[in-house]
Chains A and B, each alone.
Chain A
Amino acid sequence: MNTENIMAALEIMWKGMAGIFITITVIAIFVWLLGRMGKKK
């Protein structure tokens, strides 16, 4: 078992999931703001 690869896979796991959640949350907030601005008009 290659411990170095497993540690790298774990790093990809947490960084990848964090990256997806942060990016998706930013997009969701942006869309929500767009929706709010549309309602005000």
Chain B
Amino acid sequence: MEYLFEGILSVTWQQIVMYAVGILLIWLAIKKEYEPSLLLPMGFGAILVNLPLTGVLNQTLQGGISSNGIIEWLFSVGIDASEAMPLLLFIGIGAMIDFGPLLSNPLMFLFGAGAQFGIFAAILLAAVMGFSLQDAASIGIIGAADGPTSILVSQVLHSKYMGPIAVAAYSYMALVPIVQPFAIKLVTTKKERRIHMDYNPSDVTKRTRIIFPIAVTIIVGMVAPQSVALVGFLMFGNLIRECGVLETLSQAAQTTLANLITLLLGITISFSMRAEQFVTPQTILILIIGLFAFVMDSIGGVLLAKFMNLFLKKKINPMIGAAGISAFPMSSRVIQKMAMEEDPSNIILMHAAGANVSGQIASVIAGGLVIHLASTLIH
């Protein structure tokens, strides 16, 4: 009967830690509703891949018989071979985004750029903490506040920390309502948070909405060719949405495609949550750097808005700057809530939404630039 105890006897303490991590992620997903569509599959997958002699990973059985595991295969095909899963998800995300608030107020574009500061501050911090350049660049991209971009960059740069990076990216995205108010209050006064902003949107023509995704793809492609896959798939999804003749495809991208990829992405990422890779002191450091990245994103956006206010007649509520991260629509809602806490009559939601969708474009540009710059600097 010894064969029945082989599994139990070969469990390591690191694997037990991973069961606890898996249960924690499932609890956060169900009880706290923190990014449940990703954290629940990742949590369950963390348990699956850490069971001793698990059949979801490739194994060589006694007698030399090799057995292929489904999660390892999904990872190999869906992420390792071509980054297909995060990229396909971008089609769905693109189809979901209405760039209208941004197109009617192009000034909001700048906040998408300002709020990427956390990425680069985190890369620097990770390098100071002793991570290699490719790992530091991959860790820094947690600050993109964009799960698929984080996965893609860490995969392209062959970082061995993809698991902790994905967990940090999705966890902190879910914690935006806690992290952003803290960061914003560090660098703004009550008076600044009470600034009202007029909203007089100009009409956005259908032609502009159609030209926009094509033009962005070309402009970004020229500047940061490594971004083309990311921004191209994002804008492809948006073009399907805006063209007006592919309604069923647009709906399919927003619902069926996005749901299917999301369903598989979480459990596939759990391949990188094997105990020997995940239970390390570096994971704790990555979680700390990820939090730092989110705080610095918000601070970078706010400081840009304050700098712009030095030159503008109509002042901008500096909290709008913090909405320039990619976590849409959560960040714009947080900013609106904060504005109403200071002054219940203050409505800045549409400005924040404009900055927020700009953050989605800026984060993929940042991802491409980080890949390009890091790969040229790695010796």
Residue B216 CB within 8 A of the other chain:
yes
Residue of A nearest to B216 (CB): A27
Within 8 A of B (CB), among A1-41: 1-2, 5-6, 8-13, 15-17, 19-32, 34-35, 38-39
Residue B123 CB within 8 A of the other chain:
yes
Contact digits for B200-221, partner A, Cβ 8 Å, 1 yes 0 no: 0011110110011001100110
Contact digits for B347-363, partner A, Cβ 8 Å, 1 yes 0 no: 00000000000100110
Residue of A nearest to B215 (CB): A30
Contacts A11-B373, A12-B123 hold; do A20 and B362 have CB atoms under 8 A apart? yes
Contacts A9-B124, A34-B208 hold; do A24 and B112 have CB atoms under 8 A apart? yes
Interface of A is mostly: helix
Shortest C-beta distance, B328 to chain A (Å), equals 16
Shortest C-beta distance, A12 to chain B (Å), equals 5
Interface of B is mostly: helix
Q: Which of B117, B127, B220, B358 contacts A9 (CB 8 A)?
A: B127
Residue B107 CB within 8 A of the other chain:
yes
Report B-chain residues with C-beta under 8 Å of the C-beta of A1.
128, 130
Whether B370 pairs with A12 at a CB distance below 8 angstroms is yes
Q: Which of B117, B130, B220 contacts A2 (CB 8 A)?
A: B130
Tell me the complex Cα distance, A6–B132, Å.
Answer: 10
Whether B116 pairs with A20 at a CB distance below 8 angstroms is yes
Shortest C-beta distance, B74 to chain A (Å), equals 31
Taking residues whose C-beta sits less than 8 angstroms from the other chain, chain B's interface range is 35 or more
Tell me the complex Cα distance, A32–B105, Å.
Answer: 8
Shortest C-beta distance, B171 to chain A (Å), equals 24
Report A-chain residues with C-beta under 8 Å of the C-beta of B121.
13
Report B-chain residues with C-beta under 8 Å of the C-beta of A26.
219, 223
Q: Which of B119, B127, B211 contacts A5 (CB 8 A)?
A: B127
Residue B110 CB within 8 A of the other chain:
yes
Shortest C-beta distance, A24 to chain B (Å), equals 4
Whether A28 pairs with B224 at a CB distance below 8 angstroms is no
Report B-chain residues with C-beta under 8 Å of the C-beta of A5.
127, 131-133, 136
Report B-chain residues with C-beta under 8 Å of the C-beta of A17.
113, 116-117, 120
Residue B292 CB within 8 A of the other chain:
no
Whether B369 pairs with A27 at a CB distance below 8 angstroms is no
Tell me the complex Cα distance, A12–B223, Å.
Answer: 15
Residue B8 CB within 8 A of the other chain:
no
Report A-chain residues with C-beta under 8 Å of the C-beta of B119.
16
Report B-chain residues with C-beta under 8 Å of the C-beta of A2.
127, 130
Tell me the complex Cα distance, A29–B369, Å.
Answer: 21
Contacts A34-B211, A35-B202, A38-B205 hold; do A16 and B106 have CB atoms under 8 A apart? no
Q: Told that A1-B130, A25-B113 touch, could you supply 4 new A-B pairs with CB distance under 8 A?
A: A5-B132, A13-B123, A28-B109, A34-B103
A-B contact list, 26 entries, CB within 8 Å: A2-B130, A5-B127, A5-B132, A9-B126, A9-B128, A9-B133, A11-B377, A19-B223, A20-B113, A20-B116, A20-B362, A20-B369, A23-B219, A24-B110, A24-B365, A25-B109, A25-B110, A27-B109, A27-B361, A28-B106, A29-B106, A34-B103, A34-B211, A35-B103, A38-B204, A38-B207
User: What are the 10 A-B residue pairs with the smallest beta carbon separation, nearest first?
Assistant: A9-B127, A28-B109, A13-B120, A24-B113, A28-B106, A8-B377, A5-B127, A9-B124, A38-B205, A12-B373
